[in-house]
Structure 1
Amino acid sequence: MTTPQLPGQPFIAYQDAGLHAEQVPLADLAKQHGTPLFVYSKASMLSALQAYQRGFAGRNALICYAMKANSSLAVLQVFARAGCGFDIVSGGELARALAAGADPAKIIFSGVGKTRAEMQQALQAGIACFNVESTAELEVLNEVALAAGQRANISLRVNPNVDPKTHPYISTGLKGNKFGIAHEEALAAYQRAAALPGLKVAGIDCHIGSQITEEAPYLDAMDRILDLVTAIESAGIAIHHIDFGGGLGINYNGDTPPAADQLWQRLLAKLDTRGFGQRQLMIEPGRSLVGNAGVCLTEVLYLKPGEQKNFCIIDAAMNDLPRPAMYQAYHHIAAVQPRPEAGAEYDVVGPVCESGDWIGRDRSLAVQPGDVLAVFSAGAYCMSMASNYNTRSRPAEVLVDGAQVHVIRARETVAEQFRLESLLP
């Protein structure tokens, strides 16, 4: 039996004819904790982070984990302990980051719809910077900061109109996207920000999208942002830090994004050439730190042959793994304990009452009911986007550290789903 190259290698790989996360057999975890079950490799997360750290060695740089990718407290704790800052997009994420031990002075607040209450919460916490995404937000943040007797550090998220060559739902840097301030309007917006007494211009921000697998969009965006920094500073407004966002892709299905350290060596060479190499830099990786560190374990419930399709029905569903339904996304699926016989072709589907509830289409699998499958690249945008649709309880999560297993989220119960609801009198 050949063992295929897997997205999680070397940390989630076959050993002794069964899949392991680091030193722990996944079959044992499924038996002990049930399915669906999210399993994360701590070593994989830290290895991905170390590639960025190598790329920025010797530079004045802050790596802020984009926690929307996976906001489980223990995952945040891993990155906080490794010295990361955090990129947040809500007051809830701020509370989570602080609960996990984040340094508020390393937190940046992004997002197009910050409320006054969230601004107040972030100012009180003492975050590093607000990434402001509209001129209307500038005015509101100024009012909130003055009412609090503070000045808010801000950078403007500039939309450079660069095509990231990714799925349209996760493209964020084109003119038709809701994010950021148009490149052509940025100088005027900076001039307005500099005139507002409750604001202090700190930097400039750019984020063009997610699951980017080519370096050209980053190079194009960097050129446009550096041109703008030159223009802003020529107008007498100092830019202290440059935030280049995140968005680096991972291997879902033979994807070959550049390695983080190699990508940033090339980007930093451009910065040096243009005379910006000594600026403070910020980046906001998310998926590339956690995506391939996680798998979702799921049990095969039924095999349902059909005239046009064979279906492999599993106990994980679109509420647990929403990316295929939302983005038509591909996740590699493999048997935790492979069978020697030849496989058949199946659509792998969940039990939710929606035709969109599929996890993989046209997959060759040798499986029987009761077998456990691993859905790969499930560390990002799976548990953080999970829901209770069909009154399904969200899965448990475990973090593997060598031979140790930590339950970092207990399996949700139906009673816990009901907790905030009330019957009529």
Structure 2
Amino acid sequence: MWQEVEALGLSIVDSQTTLDTYRTLTIHCLVAGDYLRPSRYTIETLTLHFAVDQNVNMDADIGNWVLIGVVIRLALRMGLHRDPSHWPTIRPLQAELRRRIWIALYQMDYFTSTQIGLPRIIKDSQCDTRPPAHLFDDDIGFEHDEIPPERPLTDHSPLLYMIQRNSIIKVSAEIYDAAEAAPPTSATIAVLSAKLQKAIDALPEWLKYKPLETAIVETPVTLLNRMFIDILIQKAIYLLHRHSFTKGSTGEESTRSNDICIQSALAILEHQRRMTEETQPGGLMFSIRWKIASSLNHEFLQATMMLCFALSRINDGDAEMSNSCPLHRRDDIVEALTSAKGLWEKNADRSIEAQKAAKAITKVLKQDMGESSMPPWTPSDGLFGQAPGIAPQSYLGNFDYGQDVALDLSLFTVNDEVEPFRDMLDDFVSIEGGWPKDISLE
């Protein structure tokens, strides 16, 4: 958002004042409209209010998780979690608008919950709203008694991107829930892996990630959408492998898990580097630099700490990590962290998390070079556990799902592998159904 401010020639102070005024007036409208008794545009206004809060601040804020919880509960009261087909009195246009609102809220719930490391608000077992039809805004109007035929997948549109992205998020949310509630069984992990691969395979070709060097004829928005979906896929895969990585388990499966997680973090930070590079003057995405969501900083932050964690364990002589991290991969880690350090330092003046990320990288790189030893620190839950990931090119690869890779309450106990990290992470982390009775369509 600040990049858009700069593009418009506005000062940060003036833009902040404008945003604060807009936010205040939005709140006044919500209060005057008695938002707890939702009417026609209540959810849309609340969603706009949430988006302003979410994008202005680069750092994670627990208040956004609380706010989206309020918005979702009001949406539940309006019956948005049930598909409009249950009520024949709802016109096709109204039905499609309700589906569009719900898919947006579902995705906001996932992003906000994983960013904070707390449970999602929406329970999938209590919802049956299907994705909206792929239609352009002028394809359907109040005069339609039936939903027109959908546009083909070759007709690119922001709505199609959201629909396709939702197929990945649905599986990712299921993985997130399974990993948080209790250690999933090997059978559960295998099923979720198959679901994710099916969702990946179903993506249209124009949304599957390709190196930017091979896609220079694509539109900037398409390039950004591909990168974002790839990050989502990698995050889901990491959730299936994070336990062995953070626990420092032994065995062949753990070695593969370590390799997958290191690969994932390297790929995520490469996305960060390329996005930063291509949003500069002359870059492929300079014209849409304002679209780079601040929520992605969380994914980049987690990838940064994953590599710091891995490099520290290598330097401490962790046998399993050393076996799964040959010399060239260790060099890749150092190079990626060095690059990320410069990127975090550029945002340090307006982000506490960026300051601490740069500080963490500095410490672990100094340890790697033998210039200084790092004081011990205590790991905090929610930092490594929510990090994204990427597998090799086949995404899921060949992995033995018989191992236990779930998150449990003992995951963050202090052990020999993380002893050198005690003080740094403490310094790094600052915060860490049914038929509706009320359906308001007017």
**Which structure dedicates a bigger proportion of its chain to helix?**
2
**Which structure dedicates a bigger proportion of its chain to strand?**
1
